[in-house]
Chain A
């Protein structure tokens, strides 16, 4: 079965890589996310859910507030 759907990062199951499609946040938060590699085009994975949650991007673990994770739209491909 081919998986292809979008959801927000907070809803992404743990351990499932997904590609960031778009982020809808304030400019300031966008910039803070971007330098950490949380921006459109990167592959991201939830390492540990909750609030705050831990995500992995570019080989690093990032502590992330769930409110921001909900603003990040990701696409799970195959």
Chain B
């Protein structure tokens, strides 16, 4: 790593429209309440975007100081700027205004005054960069309760920068912070000379060099001179809780309990708004359909656009709820313990303990789970986790599994339960095996041995949790929502066009269905018209692009026991798995209101192959189950994979490996079972 001064020869960033306003960078160690302060300062106006050219997120907001609007940039939580990690490099570039980052006017370093020595290390490094600095001495409320005294005057003198004691949680000290900030925002603030102990380093990144030790010496020295007392109370409480929560046996039990509670809450609570969204979207669709003349436009608006928007919105409850709960767990300090107790177990497949929580939440939905992999620092570990998450049994598979259970084990709930358990296990085993494989081949690398701060336990902030939930929801809608909507419209078009004329439709329909439909139409009731539409459905779909493709790929899926009608279902569920059920209902002319009852099951059971054998025999149903357990059939997930990895490359790889895995496993299942049962 070169000396800092050489960096100034790099091209200066292009001024943008916002650079005319002062820019404040917020930096601090993790668990210092930096996010709470950011939320306090900027309120609800914050926006999340990526740092240029990275998948690393940065939150931007603004505040008013001295009658002037100031942009605020939240940098990732860091212990140092040694530039060993992407976060450290980006934070350093952002502070220096290099590599396309606008140069900040000043930096606020958020410091947890109950852990002063540790936090001062980063303060020292930021001071060495030469940026005007203000130190926000956070957690005044905690320090006060513990009888810990920190002398801001001594700190100001030793650091050579203004220091303000605040409590981001209660809002105490914030007016004073803004007041002291004002002189730094003019852009011409004189930066005090560097403390002697920090001089002569001239390097910020050579590992193990004497300067890093000098910086720690300085931090410990300043901390001991400026503070009196220690946070004994919270330290004792934390040690006592850790004796249980990090215990090899009790800790795992506590972990299992917390995770079960998280999952049950996520699974059951999200269902209420999800149902409400589905009902509202259906009602909206009906209302619009009633007002628009029947035809292509109505079909486009109702099935394509409104259906597509509904398909995006329905993910929101799970995303918001997961991030609300995760924020509470993280803020309380427990999430670090969860990673701690799972580290050794997850290490067996080469993943860090932090990968467990995303893997658990993927059992509700892969999308929020993918978004929560950001806690995994190592890029390879994170990529492997992202690649395997969609193998875990998400709730969208359940309607498909329920349909297959009804086919195979109607009236045998016990066997149905065993089938469900088997499908869940298949997902878990496949995910772990693939993780093991990827870590040894494609994304080769030793798993990073655990080094993780176990922060002091504290009451989590509801406000921050709510803001985190809203933030993730907005990010999902903005970045993935538009892609998902486009895809939904595309899928609608494939299953609608090219259209048959009425004459062609009649000619193409099987004789029996044609007569039945004509008879129904003659009755003239609404119910009969719906029945006639259901009877026409299979022929319409057969001649639309989806049906033609289904027929074209029949040879590809024939070894799995699927015929072209099942292939249409498989194709349509490429965008969303649960679509299989509704597509098969169309393919086999089951009316909308019959799907809920046994209508679909009965229709599926009576279908035969050209040679007269039943279409859905045990081998085919089992093969379909295995295929749906393992295949990548969720375009929203693909859109989020692209966003989280920064390229379509990983989304494409995820699609191909999962489809290949699903095909192979379904092939083995069908061929084995059809021979065994023959």
Using CB atoms and an 8 Å cutoff, list the residues of chain A in contact with chain B: 23, 27-42, 47-48, 50-52, 54, 58-65, 67-68
Contacts and interface: CB of A to CB of B under 8 A. Distances in A.
B343 interface: yes
5 contacts: A28-B448, A32-B448, A54-B246, A63-B451, A63-B453
Given A48-B242, A63-B336, A67-B449, A58 B220 contact: yes
Contact of A60 (B80, B118, B246, B344): B118
A34 B85 CA distance: 13
B207 interface: yes
Given A40-B213, A54-B242, A27 B207 contact: yes
Given A39-B208, A65-B451, 14 more contacts: A31-B84, A32-B84, A34-B212, A36-B453, A37-B121, A39-B213, A41-B213, A48-B242, A50-B248, A58-B118, A58-B121, A60-B454, A60-B455, A63-B340
Nearest to B213: A41
A64 B246 contact: no
Interface of B: 78-80, 82, 84-85, 88, 115-118, 121, 207-208, 212-213, 216-217, 219-220, 230, 238-239, 242-243, 246, 248, 336, 339-340, 343-344, 448-455
A35 B82 contact: yes
Contact of B449 (A35, A59, A61, A65): A65
Contacts of B208: 23, 30, 34, 39-40
Per DSSP, chain A at the interface is mixed
B504 to A, nearest CB: 66
Contacts of B448: 28-29, 32
Contacts of B117: 58-59
B453 A65 contact: no
B454 A34 contact: no
Contacts of A33: 451
Contacts of A64: 449-452
Contacts of A60: 115, 118, 453-455
Given A34-B212, A38-B451, A41-B213, A48 B246 contact: yes
B147 to A, nearest CB: 16
Contacts of A65: 343, 449-451
B454 A63 contact: yes
B243 to A, nearest CB: 7
Contacts of B246: 48, 54, 63
Nearest to B220: A58
A54 B207 contact: no
A41 B217 contact: yes
A26 to B, nearest CB: 8
Contacts of A63: 246, 336, 339-340, 343, 450-454
Contact of B451 (A47, A50, A59, A62): A62
A42 B216 contact: yes
A53 to B, nearest CB: 9
Contacts of B219: 58
Contact of B212 (A39, A51, A61): A39
Contacts of A28: 84, 448
Nearest to B340: A63
Contact of B239 (A27, A47, A67): A47
Given A52-B340, A58-B117, A63-B450, A35 B213 contact: no
Given A54-B246, A59-B118, A35 B340 contact: no
A68 B451 contact: yes
B118 A37 contact: yes
A67 B387 CA distance: 28
A65 B208 CA distance: 20
A22 B169 CA distance: 40
A70 to B, nearest CB: 10
Contacts of B78: 35
